[in-house]
Amino acid sequence: MTATTSEPLLALHGVTKRFGAVQALAGVDFDVRAGEVVGLVGDNGAGKSTLVKVMSGIYRADEGEYRFEGEVRHVTAPSDATALGVATVYQDLALCDNLDVVANLFVGREEISGGVGGALRSLDEASMEKQAAELLQTLTVRLPSVRQEVGTLSGGQRQSVAIARSLIGEAKVVLLDEPTAALGVAQTEQVLALIRRLREQGLGVVVISHNLANVFDVVDRIFVLRLGRKAGVYEVAETSQEEIVGAITGAEFGRGNGSGGGGEQATGEATR
């Protein structure tokens, strides 16, 4: 594991979010540091998606404090979070299958060449292709070609492109929503290896996942949400899947549902 700094890059304090009569989050404290991967886990309806949307600026907290690099910030829109250096990769990836890798990496951030005297402006394809190749090389992402259409790539390669795209804007914190969902074993390992490289480069990474085996394989700490509240924060080296399942379900060692086998099922899959 890579050593982390003591000061969190991103920290939420006492965050509360309501939707009418429904309280999705209640006084949640959460933080992630540079060079650290934090796993965010919890059952259905625990508040994971809401917490991520507060961090990414989609939702504004009703109460609480949003701090970035130690300073209070007013994040009221996704553009505010992006400007700070918070990038989010959602489960659907939002890639354009008919465009090549370079176009997907720079969508919305296209570079323009001025032409002679500023006339005949056009996309600076050479510069974008060079930057794309350098970024993917830095992340050790192997693709047949940066000019290959994204729709022809494997699931792991597509996820890698989506993560790489989030780094184009000088991200410091990356939020990954179910990055290994629906991937095979080899593709999953490809994505987990990429997450480790993000940590090595000093980024703060938050991984939202229903798969505890993957979480234990790649994160430093695990943050458990239950019914909109923090149920615990655990160092991976000092906990077990059984203890995490217990925190998720609210019962010691995950056997509070009376089924006897519920803890085993939740350990592998049922923690979204």
At 108, the amino acid letter reads G
Phi, psi of 142 (to 5 degrees): -100, 120
pLDDT at position 130: 92
Which CATH architecture group holds 1-85+173-272?
3-Layer(aba) Sandwich (3.40)
Between 178 and 123, name the one with better pLDDT.
178
pLDDT tens-digit profile of 181-205? 888 898 899 999 999 999 999 999 9
Express each pLDDT in 203-215 by its tens digit: 999 999 999 999 9
Q: Please check the confidence at residue 255 and state whether its pLDDT lies above 50.
A: no
**What pLDDT shows up at residue 125?**
85
**Whole-prediction pTM value?**
0.82
Residue 123's pLDDT is 78
- Delimit the CATH 3.40.50.300 region(s) of the chain: 1-85+173-272
